[in-house]
Amino acid sequence: MKSARDTREILDKLETQYPDADTELHYTTPFELLVATILSAQSTDVGVNSVTPALFKRYPTARALAKAAHADVEPIIHATGFFRAKARSIIGVAQALVERHAGEVPAVMESLVELPGVGRKTANVVLGHALGVPGLPVDRHVLRVANRIGIAEGDDPVLVEKQLTGALPPERWTRTSDTLILHGRRVCRPKPLCDQCVVRDDCDYFRLVVSRGRGRGSAKTAKKVKRPKKAGRASLRTAKNARGSKRVRAPRR
């Protein structure tokens, strides 16, 4: 794994590729971002953004959503998938906010993760973007990109979060997550577009996997020699007859 100094320098470069990196979920309050992040599970930000305007128009606060009927919420969020489970989650989290925090979203990690349906990643999203508290959300994109580049090591989100936050000052945590997420969506996909990456020369995956693969492909091409065609049966018979024909001697005098 790369040093903290190398990690910061690599992220400096990567941030130039995404100068306006930010969450792509639309929201105006911490409550809206909390709900939108819950809805984003197994869905796209575009899909979530297509349903939240209607949802928040009808249920603008935790108190309003806490009183909602599941049958009324489900059709609104249907396009995000798993709409029944998600309706239970967002109504449940709204009820918990009303009961435990007077309808407000707490700005403390420990309080957020105690809410139903809220994990550490969701809590970090809300803290970092809506509440001004440093947080580094780790999703599948962050895991993939950080491991490939070599600035983190492991598939445990909590461990990777610890590694990244240990290498960076708190004021960079949220921006780093946004940058890695966008890079994972646009360039460092499961099948990466390495030629479009500004940190390709610093990337362990490119050096150890992609470059070697390209090198092997070039070597195979260079070694590929066109073999001569096998002689046909008629040609072989002609050659044998030529070798086996007897020399005619001149008659003795």
Chain segment 43-77, per-residue pLDDT in tens: 999 999 999 999 999 999 999 999 999 999 999 99
In the annotation, is 202 catalytic? no
pLDDT over threshold 50, residue 135: yes
Chain length of the chain: 253
Average pLDDT (11-39) is 98
Q: Check 139, 201, 220, 240 and give the catalytic one.
A: 139
Q: How confident is the model at residue 224 (pLDDT cuts 50, 70, 90)?
A: low
Domains, in order of start, for the chain:
30-130 (1.10.340.30)
The Cα 123–Cα 130 span in angstroms is: 10
Q: Are the C-beta atoms of 136 and 165 separated by less than 8 Å?
A: yes
Angle separating helix axes 140-149 and 173-186, nearest 10 degrees? 90
The Cα 197–Cα 146 span in angstroms is: 14
Q: How confident is the model at residue 213 (pLDDT cuts 50, 70, 90)?
A: confident
With a CB cutoff of 8 Å and minimum separation 6, the contacts of 215 are: none
Q: How confident is the model at residue 223 (pLDDT cuts 50, 70, 90)?
A: low
In the annotation, is 178 catalytic? no
The Cα 166–Cα 147 span in angstroms is: 15
CA-to-CA separations, 83 to 51, 120, 204, in angstroms, rounded = 11, 22, 40
pLDDT over threshold 70, residue 89: yes
Angle, CA 15 vertex, CA 150 and CA 172 arms, to 5°: 80
Q: What is the pLDDT of residue 246?
A: 44
How confident is the model over 136-168, as pLDDT tens digits? Answer: 999 999 999 999 999 999 999 999 999 999 999
How confident is the model over 26-40, as pLDDT tens digits? Answer: 999 999 999 999 999
Nearest CA to 39 out of 54, 20, 18 is that of 54
Q: Are the C-beta atoms of 31 and 105 separated by less than 8 Å?
A: yes
CB atoms within 10 A of CB 207: 13
Per the model's pLDDT, the better-predicted residue between 235 and 34 turns out to be 34
The predicted model scores a pTM of 0.84
Q: Check 6, 20, 45, 121 and give the catalytic one.
A: 121
Q: How confident is the model at residue 239 (pLDDT cuts 50, 70, 90)?
A: very low
